[in-house]
């Protein structure tokens, strides 16, 4: 890149994507700063960032404190079994079927089994709803941004 700080291809992409002068200025400044950080080895490639996001998405498990959940259900005696069977981590715990977890934790009474299954269903449903809400919110924000950009372009033509 040398002292130019931005390539012709990057400049062309910025102009093709944006028509507003303010947006172009912001994009240019951002691209120059990113290129400088990249040259210093402090910035991550877009591919690296995408891989990190995929890893986060792969960990698609509810964010709940397993120990607190078990204590709340009156299953405090099952906590040593979590560590014994190496299922204390969220990813491992939620990969297993409810019946398998009940078997590993050695939950004997039917009432406790039923409460555990109900709680697991509640936690999983809550997680699915939150995930769907997040996806809907992301889609909506993209539409709003696109609409706002379109309105800005149209208003700049009128004035």
Burial class (CB in 10 A: 0-12, 13-18, 19+), 71: middle
Q: Would you list the domain boundaries of the chain?
A: 1-58, 60-159
Average confidence (pLDDT) over 6-23: 71
Write the pLDDT tens digit of every residue in 99-156. Answer: 988 998 888 899 999 999 999 999 999 988 888 777 766 666 666 677 767 777 766 6
Considering the entire predicted model, what is its pTM?
Answer: 0.51
pLDDT higher than 80, residue 12: no
Average confidence (pLDDT) over 60-79: 87
**In this structure, how many other beta carbons lie within 10 angstroms of the beta carbon of residue 70?**
20
Write the pLDDT tens digit of every residue in 27-38. Answer: 767 777 777 777
Of the two residues 117 and 60, the one the predictor is more confident about is 117
Residue 94 is predicted with a pLDDT of 84
pLDDT higher than 70, residue 50: no
Residue 110 is predicted with a pLDDT of 92
Three-state secondary structure of 89-115? CHHHHHHCCHHHHHHHHCCCCHHHHHH
Residue 17 is predicted with a pLDDT of 72
For the chain, percent of residues with pLDDT exceeding 90: 8
Alpha helices per DSSP H over the chain:
8-17, 21-40, 46-58, 66-72, 79-84, 90-95, 98-105, 110-158
């Amino acid at each position: 890149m040398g002292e130019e700080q931005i390539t012709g291809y990057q400049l062309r992409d910025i102009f093709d994507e944006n028509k507003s002068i303010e947006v172009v200025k912001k994009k240019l400044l951002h691209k120059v700063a990113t290129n400088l950080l990249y040259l210093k080895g402090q910035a991550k490639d877009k591919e690296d960032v995408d891989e990190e996001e995929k890893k986060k998405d792969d960990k698609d498990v509810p964010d709940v404190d397993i120990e607190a959940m078990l204590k709340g259900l009156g299953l405090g005696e099952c906590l040593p079994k979590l560590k014994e069977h190496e299922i204390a981590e969220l990813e491992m715990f939620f990969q297993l079927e409810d019946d398998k977890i009940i078997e590993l934790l050695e939950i004997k009474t039917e009432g406790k089994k039923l409460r555990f299954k109900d709680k697991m269903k509640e936690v999983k449903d809550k997680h699915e709803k939150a995930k769907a809400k997040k996806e809907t919110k992301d889609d909506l924000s993209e539409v709003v941004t696109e609409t706002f950009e379109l309105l800005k372009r149209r208003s700049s033509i009128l004035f």
